[in-house]
């Protein structure tokens, strides 16, 4: 069955398209009687407005484009949930795209999304290649780069410094007396933020005359199973370690499982340190150290920011900085 149009609703109600349009949008100056008649006919005809026509005509959409690298790492869905919640009630609608950590794919997704003329766009990270940056600049809408703060934003920037997060974790672990460090990570060539954390961590180690004594890094996607496997491998090779820093909490959770299976006392003998503050890491039977990243709040902050921007209240600050809280040490 063909979808009915505003014109048909208007005809059925015996008014013009314009009056029907006003009635359906709840405009003030429509007589009560007319409004009710229009709403009744719309209901009877199962009328569903056409956003394509609406947006084309009014030159604005209620769309916010969001591009994330993955759905398989829970932090991104959590961020999306934050964005979605922050947009709640504003009439804005988030549209998500997944780039699979692939810059070329990200560029194509952004291009696709821009062709829908969204009111704003949120992308992950600050490390887009020049061509993508150019597209974003040309889009002439608020651009929010989310999660990371280490770099030069195109427009708005909401996130935390991953370099600093690594530094602070290293400092906290040193202060707690740990000295013999290992590193276990995954997909650093894709997950640039994990790389920044590692670099920050290493910087502080170096300043203290130390370095990672053992490393296991491979190109696979971050996962619990992988963290477990790499930890097993490292602990089979050496026990001369009192702390392992992981690229993220899922990897660290795998590390905790490895310790449990091997019967290695943790945090006593080896302290496991991750990043994110995932639920799973907090419920673990052994205590692990982590930096809690407020990803839901970052999503909400981004939503709030772009709502005020698109309402013409230019936010005073282009950058909103968050600070991860370190837990699980002592």
Give counts: helices (H), strands (E), the chain.
Answer: 13, 12
**197 Cβ neighbours under 8 A, 6+ residues apart:** 162, 163, 165, 166, 169, 247, 275
**195 Cβ neighbours under 8 A, 6+ residues apart:** 188, 189
- If the CB atoms of residues 59 and 316 are measured against DNA, the closer one turns out to be 59
| Residue among 12, 15, 68, 302 that touches DNA (CB under 7 A) | 15
18 binds, among DNA, a copy of itself, none (CB under 5 to 8 A by kind): DNA
* Of the candidates 243, 304, 253, 244, the residue with the CA atom closest to the CA atom of residue 276: 253
Q: Does 16 bind DNA (CB under 7 A)?
A: yes
Q: Does 18 bind DNA (CB under 7 A)?
A: yes
**Torsional sign, CA 278, 282, 285, 289:** positive
In the region spanning residues 33 to 72, those forming contacts with DNA, defined by CB under 7 A, are: 33-34, 49-50, 53-54, 56-59
**Torsional sign, CA 174, 180, 185, 191:** positive
- If the CB atoms of residues 16 and 51 are measured against a copy of itself, the closer one turns out to be 51
| Residue among 19, 124, 266, 276 that touches DNA (CB under 7 A) | 19
58 binds, among DNA, a copy of itself, none (CB under 5 to 8 A by kind): DNA
Question: With contact defined as beta carbons under 8 Å apart, do 156 and 315 qualify?
Answer: yes
Q: What is the DSSP string of 291-325?
A: EE--HHHHHHHHHHHHHHHHTT---S-SEEE--PE
In the region spanning residues 176 to 235, those forming contacts with a copy of itself, defined by CB under 8 A, are: 223-225, 228
Long-range contacts of 281-285 (CB under 8 A, 24+ apart): 281/249, 281/252, 281/253, 281/256, 284/253, 284/256, 285/260
Nearest approach in angstroms of CB 126 to a copy of itself is 21
In the region spanning residues 270 to 289, those forming contacts with a copy of itself, defined by CB under 8 A, are: 279-280, 282-285
Q: Does 39 bind a copy of itself (CB under 8 A)?
A: no
104 binds, among a copy of itself, DNA, none (CB under 5 to 8 A by kind): none
| Residue among 111, 179, 239, 318 that touches a copy of itself (CB under 8 A) | 111
264 binds, among DNA, a copy of itself, none (CB under 5 to 8 A by kind): none
Site mask for a copy of itself (CB under 8 A), range 41-60, x = bound? -----x-xxxxxxxxx----
Nearest approach in angstroms of CB 61 to DNA is 11
Write phi, then psi, for 296 (nearest 5 degrees). Answer: -65, -45
Q: Does 166 bind a copy of itself (CB under 8 A)?
A: no
Nearest approach in angstroms of CB 261 to a copy of itself is 5
| Crossing angle of the two packed helices 75-87 and 295-310, in degrees rounded to 10 | 30
**255 Cβ neighbours under 8 A, 6+ residues apart:** 184, 227, 228, 231, 244, 246, 272, 274, 288
E strand or H helix at 222? none
Nearest approach in angstroms of CB 292 to a copy of itself is 14
Q: Does 21 bind DNA (CB under 7 A)?
A: yes
CA quadruple 274, 278, 280, 281: dihedral, nearest 10:
30
Q: Does 81 bind a copy of itself (CB under 8 A)?
A: yes
Chain residues in the site for a copy of itself (CB under 8 A): 1-3, 46, 48-56, 61, 70-72, 74, 76-78, 80-81, 84, 93-98, 111-112, 114-117, 134-135, 138-140, 223-225, 228, 253-254, 257, 260-261, 279-280, 282-285
Chain residues in the site for DNA (CB under 7 A): 3, 5-7, 15-19, 21-22, 25, 28-31, 33-34, 49-50, 53-54, 56-59
């Amino acid at each position: 069955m063909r979808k009915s149009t505003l014109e048909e609703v208007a005809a059925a109600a015996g008014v013009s398209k314009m009056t029907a349009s006003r009635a359906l949008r709840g405009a003030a100056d429509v007589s009560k009687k007319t409004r009710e008649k229009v709403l009744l006919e719309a209901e009877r005809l199962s009328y569903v407005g056409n956003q394509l026509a609406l947006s084309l005509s009014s030159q604005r959409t209620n769309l916010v484009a969001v591009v994330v690298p993955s759905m398989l790492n829970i932090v991104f869905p959590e961020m999306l949930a934050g964005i979605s919640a922050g947009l709640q009630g504003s009439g804005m609608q988030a549209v998500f795209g997944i780039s699979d950590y692939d810059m070329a794919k990200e560029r194509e997704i952004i291009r696709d999304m821009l062709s829908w003329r969204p009111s704003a766009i949120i992308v992950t990270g600050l490390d887009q290649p020049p061509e993508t940056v150019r597209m974003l600049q040309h889009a002439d809408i608020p651009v929010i780069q989310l999660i990371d703060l280490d770099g030069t934003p195109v427009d708005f920037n909401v996130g935390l410094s991953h370099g600093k997060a690594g530094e602070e974790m290293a400092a906290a672990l040193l202060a707690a007396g740990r000295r013999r460090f290992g590193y276990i990570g995954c997909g650093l060539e894709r997950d640039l933020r994990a790389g920044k954390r590692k670099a920050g961590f290493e910087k502080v180690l170096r300043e203290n005359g130390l370095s990672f004594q053992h490393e296991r890094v491979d190109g696979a996607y971050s996962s619990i199973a992988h963290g477990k496997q790499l930890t097993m491998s490292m602990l089979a090779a050496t026990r001369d370690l009192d702390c392992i820093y992981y690229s993220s909490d899922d990897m660290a959770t795998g590390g905790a499982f490895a310790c449990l299976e091997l019967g290695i006392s943790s945090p006593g003998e080896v302290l496991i340190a991750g990043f994110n503050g995932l639920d799973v890491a907090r419920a673990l039977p052994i205590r692990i150290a982590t930096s809690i990243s407020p990803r839901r709040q970052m999503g909400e902050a981004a939503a709030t920011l772009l709502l005020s921007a698109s309402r013409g209240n230019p936010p005073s600050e282009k950058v909103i900085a968050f600070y991860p809280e370190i837990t699980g040490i002592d």
